[in-house]
Amino acid sequence: MARLQLEGLSKRYNEFYAARDIHLDVAEGEMLVLLGPSGCGKTTTLRMIAGFVEPSEGVIRIGGEDVTWHPPWKRSTGLVFQNYALFPHLTVARNLAFGLEMRRVEKSEIDRRVHDALAMVRLDHLADRLPRQLSGGQQQRVALARALVVRPDVLLLDEPLSNLDAKLREEVRIEIRALQQRLGITTVMVTHDQEEALSMADRLVVMKEGEVRQIGSQQELYERPVDRFVASFVGRSSFLRGRLADGILRTEGGLEVRCSDGPNGPAAVAIRPERVTVAREAPSAENVFPGEVEHVSYLGGSIDVRVRLSPKDVVVAQMPNVEGGWLPQAGDRVHAGWSASAKAFADTETEEGTAQVS
């Protein structure tokens, strides 16, 4: 257990930065989750911490010690692979014993710690099985136990849940988090599943194209995203695009939207679906526009309503599914309303036109 610091860490392949100038400070016992789209450099960052990728620049510190140039076997990091990477020729117990044997722990001590670690993931009855005789979920827990049994300073998880089915994933998610908190182990996890990230992290790091875009708690990222990318990646947003002047965004479709102040010029305002009210009569809100329901998705717990406000502007509302409540239909004339606290961002990035909620 130790503090983990990355200082200006970069990885360059020729001219291409897989990771660029990454600064992270993970407190002792904290769980940090790296979140970002495919190819943004999450795995590269994690593998630099584990020692499998040599950084082009920067420093890695574990417990204050500079380990940037230590080989993987001299770092106290426990790595859990996406495909678990259990040794197929060794039983579950011998898989767990491997790391302890490398540390020259006494035989009786090894037996005891292996047993405890297996009990911790509730697999003590499977100690003598070979990995191929286990289910995916069981293999996952063995991999976790194998990484933890050596009591590493830092636990590294690379998409540890992506090979599990949806139901199991939720279960293991809670289990890993509980274990991590009980052991108080400094952890860095990588995922591109935002629900996973939000439910497990102490703090999140949103990455894009090798760079860190924002670091913060769930609430900070959700309520105060620093840019349009973070707003679209953490939680859902509909974007209305136009020109911003003095807190008012004039969309191409002719709407005038009150929003949080932002830089004057081309901008987009991000509107969270659950903050939009849809009603037949105009609701009381700072922004209210008439529109036509384009599409209704009945999701059970909530109802997504897509409302066209102008030929160019669409907003999505997430309505709670209230018993006996009104259910809009496609084609209904309605009003959509939301507050002026919706965030506006400079609209420089073009590719995020696709990030609109559908």
Partner 1 sequence: MSDAGAGGRADRPSTLFSASTLIGPATLLVAIGILAPMLFLARYSLNLYDPRLLMIEAFSPANYIAFFSDPFYLGVFFTTLRVSFVCTAVCIVLGFPLAYLLARTGSRMKNLMIIGIVIPLFVGNAVRAAGWMTFFGSRGLLSVTLMDLGLRDGPTEIMFTETAVIIGIIAVNLPYMVLTLQSVLEGIDRNLEEAAFSLGAPPWTMFRRVLWPLALPGIAAGTILCFILAMNAYATPVLLGGPQFRMMAPMVYNQFQLNNWPLAAALAFILMATTLGLTVVAGLMTRQSFRG
Q: Which residues contact 35 (CB under 8 A, 6 or more apart)?
A: 42, 191, 192, 194, 197, 204, 205, 206, 207, 233, 234
Q: Which residue lies nearer to partner 1 by CB, 47 or 343?
A: 47
Where does this chain touch Mg ion (CB under 5 A) — which range of 13-21, 36-44, 163-171, 228-236? 36-44
Choose the one of ligand ATP, partner 1, Mg ion, none that binds residue 18, judging by a C-beta under 5 to 8 angstroms depending on kind. Answer: ligand ATP
d(CA 189, CA 160): 8
Choose the one of partner 1, ligand ATP, Mg ion, none that binds residue 185, judging by a C-beta under 5 to 8 angstroms depending on kind. Answer: none
Q: Which residue lies nearer to Mg ion by CB, 5 or 43?
A: 43
Largest CA distance in the chain: 76
Spatial CA neighbour of 34 closest among 226, 225, 200, 175 = 200
* Rounded least distance, CB 171 to Mg ion, Å: 23
98 binds partner 1 (CB under 8 A): yes
d(CA 273, CA 225): 15
Q: Which residue lies nearer to ligand ATP by CB, 100 or 201?
A: 201
Taking CB under 5 A as the criterion, the residue among 43, 138, 214, 318 binding Mg ion is 43
81 binds partner 1 (CB under 8 A): yes
Strand ranges for 27-135 from DSSP E: 31-35, 57-62, 65-66, 77-80
Q: What residues numbered 224-253 form the site for ligand ATP, per CB under 6 A?
A: none
Q: H/E element holding 119?
A: helix 107-120
CA 24 distance to own-chain centroid: 15
75 binds partner 1 (CB under 8 A): yes
Where does this chain touch partner 1 (CB under 8 A) — which range of 49-57, 114-122, 273-281, 287-295? 49-57
Taking CB under 8 A as the criterion, the residue among 23, 69, 103, 109 binding partner 1 is 103
60 binds partner 1 (CB under 8 A): no
β-partners of residue 157 are 80, 189
Kindly report the CA angle at 358 between 286 and 310, in degrees rounded to 5?
Answer: 50
**Could you tell me what percentage of the chain is helix, strand and coil, using 3-state DSSP and rounding each to the nearest 5?**
30, 35, 35
Q: H/E element holding 117?
A: helix 107-120
* Rounded least distance, CB 188 to ligand ATP, Å: 13
Q: What residues numbered 19-78 form the site for ligand ATP, per CB under 6 A?
A: 36, 38-44
83 binds partner 1 (CB under 8 A): yes
CA 211 distance to own-chain centroid: 15
- Burial annotation 237-261 (CB, 10 A radius, 16+ → b, else e): bbbbbbebeeebbebebebebbbbe
Spatial CA neighbour of 163 closest among 86, 236, 72 = 86
- Residue 29 class from Cβ within 10 Å (0-12 exposed, 13-18 middle, 19+ buried)? middle
Q: What residues numbered 146-205 form the site for ligand ATP, per CB under 6 A?
A: 192
Q: What residues numbered 114-173 form the site for partner 1, per CB under 8 A?
A: 146-147, 150
Where does this chain touch partner 1 (CB under 8 A) — which range of 74-82, 107-115, 232-240, 242-250? 74-82
191 binds Mg ion (CB under 5 A): no
Taking CB under 8 A as the criterion, the residue among 14, 15, 38, 71 binding partner 1 is 71
* Rounded least distance, CB 43 to Mg ion, Å: 3
Q: What are phi and psi of 206, to 5 degrees?
A: -95, 125
Choose the one of ligand ATP, Mg ion, partner 1, none that binds residue 102, judging by a C-beta under 5 to 8 angstroms depending on kind. Answer: partner 1
* Rounded least distance, CB 50 to partner 1, Å: 6
CB 329 within 8 A of CB 247: no
Interacting residues toward ligand ATP by CB under 6 A? 13, 18, 36, 38-44, 192
> Contact positions toward partner 1, by CB under 8 A?
50-52, 71-73, 75, 77-79, 81, 83, 85-89, 98-99, 102-103, 146-147, 150
Q: Which residues in this chain contact Mg ion in the complex, by CB under 5 A?
A: 43
